[in-house]
Amino acid sequence: MQWADDNKMIINQSKTKKIVFRRPSPRRLHMYPLVNGVEPVTCTKLLGVWIQDNLKVDMHADYILALCSQRIFLMKRLRDHGLSIKYVHTSFQAIVSRILYALPAWGCFLFKELSSRIDAFLKRCYRYGFASEIEHVDILFDRACVDLFHKIRYSEHCLHILPLVINQC
């Protein structure tokens, strides 16, 4: 907290959490000193993404799938009450955006079981008629990474960090 005081920052201790990232199976567990008033946690939600101390994303994937499944239930009801297929597809894109949110940040930590669960959800959505094609999370991940890379290349974008390279061949 001294650093914050020295830099004239006000820390809201009721919102401040401490998370120590570690290997999934550490041989030695180092105990870090407690900071008065700061709660130590093993997972926390940061900007809508669940972060775990072991760098796994199963908690975030469970959260996303539960949220999306609730929305699918509502979409089934709307479809059954006559919502046109055009609006069903548009609504589905909004649901998929929950999966796409920050995918380049957490998607690289997906293991096969989680990828399969997300793919099964997307396939189920296709069977229900909510999607026009079957999506796969690895393809969504690749597209999201390419899209992010393109954004950071252009100086007009707020994420611009890479210089624009022009081939001189």
Task: Dump the DSSP string for the chain.
Answer: -HHHHHTT----TTT-EEE----SS-SS-PPPPP-TT-EEESEEEETTEEEETT---HHHHHHHHHHHHHHHHHHHHHHHTT--HHHHHHHHHHHHHHHHTTHHHHGGG--HHHHHHHHHHHHHHHHTTS-SS---HHHHHHHHHHHHHHHHHSTTSTT--SPPP----
Q: What is the value of pTM for the model shown?
A: 0.77
Where do the structural domains in the chain lie, given as residue ranges?
A: 2-52, 58-137
- pLDDT tens per residue, the chain (169 residues)? 677 888 888 888 888 888 888 776 666 666 666 777 788 888 999 999 999 988 899 999 999 999 999 999 888 888 899 988 888 888 888 888 899 999 999 998 999 999 999 999 999 999 988 888 888 999 999 999 998 887 777 777 776 665 555 555 5
